Amino acid sequence: MDMNLKIDPEFQNKIPPLTDAEFAQLEENILNDGEVCEPIVVWNDTIVDGHNRWKIILANPWLTYRVKEMNFADKWEAFDWMYKNQLGRRNLTDEQKRYLLGKLYETRRHTHGGSRGNQYTKVPSAEKRPLPDARDGVSKIIAEEQHVGKTQVKDSFQFAKGIDAIRESDPVLADAILKSERKIRKKDIQEIGRAKPDEQKGMIEAIQVGDNVPKRKITNEGASSQNRQDRKEIRNIVESLEDDTVMEYTIDNLTEQIRINADAFIRSLNHLLMDHCDLFDGHNREIVTAIDESITTRINQIKETFNNGTQL
């Protein structure tokens, strides 16, 4: 048996660690079986999957085991395989699933628009080049593969970035969050992922002492073109209200303004829901009820008022 397999921290640190109890259970199962049933997956003699099993083997060299050699085009293809393989396992915490999903998205964005199937193209100096735009379809492909929503994929990307930022300052805290041993609001971790490096330090320090994460600074530079358009429309409305010029207002003007206000409201509601999509799981019925009570009921009241010919 080859006992000279290599461990690369870049591969080892990509996978969320086992809890002490999980590792102890794995070790007990392997020792009871007298062999390691699942193979150690390697690429160029470097372990890609099976670091925990390999640790047990090194401590018990009498164990029999198998090695499975993979032929990846580059490390990004290896990462892709690692994340998909881990996501296929059932004993993951919700935080680990989100992290792996986000890292899979990050990996796909380092290839040319993401890869369908198992064909990859090596990207020179991938760490230094700008990432492709999220609209390239990567999130849609991953969402279909993992049976989740596109929004969850993109949110998981920010979550993974937040965990990676925390790991640089406090590896123990990052592992505790992924193991669900330390409960931190997902949206706080996503905020850290979205923040600039100079802001992340203070946000992470807040988590370490149990405080709420301060909001990151939002600048016009980071605002979407749609938000800028919304602000422009609001300014136009304000200016029109301040204009002393008497204008003839027709029913066509009124219906057009109704449509404009309705579109702006829907966009605002969509932004609100997407900003807090981490609350969706298990609360969908409550959200739908809130929409019905706050919006649908009020719209029906307005329509009924006009049908009866009365004033609001």
CB 75 within 8 A of CB 44: no
Write out pLDDT tens, residues 192-242.
999 988 899 889 998 888 777 776 665 544 445 556 666 666 666 666 555
Write out pLDDT tens, residues 34-85.
999 999 999 999 999 999 999 999 999 999 999 999 999 999 999 999 999 9
Beta bridge partners of 67: 40
1-to-46, 52, 64, 65 alpha-carbon distances in Å: 15, 18, 8, 8
Tokens of 109: 């964005």
- Banded model confidence at residue 110, pLDDT cuts 50, 70, 90: confident
DSSP per-residue string spanning 297-311: HHHHHHHHHHHTT--
pLDDT tops 50 at residue 131: no
- Mean pLDDT score, 274-300: 76
pLDDT tops 90 at residue 160: yes
CA–CA separation, 30 and 161 (whole Å): 34
DSSP per-residue string spanning 141-208: HHHHHHT--HHHHHHHHHHHHHHHHHHHH-HHHHHHHHTTSS---HHHHHHHHHS-HHHHHHHHHHHH
User: Can you give the residue ranges of every domain in the chain?
Assistant: 1-71, 94-117+135-217, 220-307
pLDDT at 229: 62
Name which of 195, 194, 214 is nearest 205 in CA terms.
Answer: 214
- Banded model confidence at residue 155, pLDDT cuts 50, 70, 90: very high
pLDDT tops 50 at residue 134: no
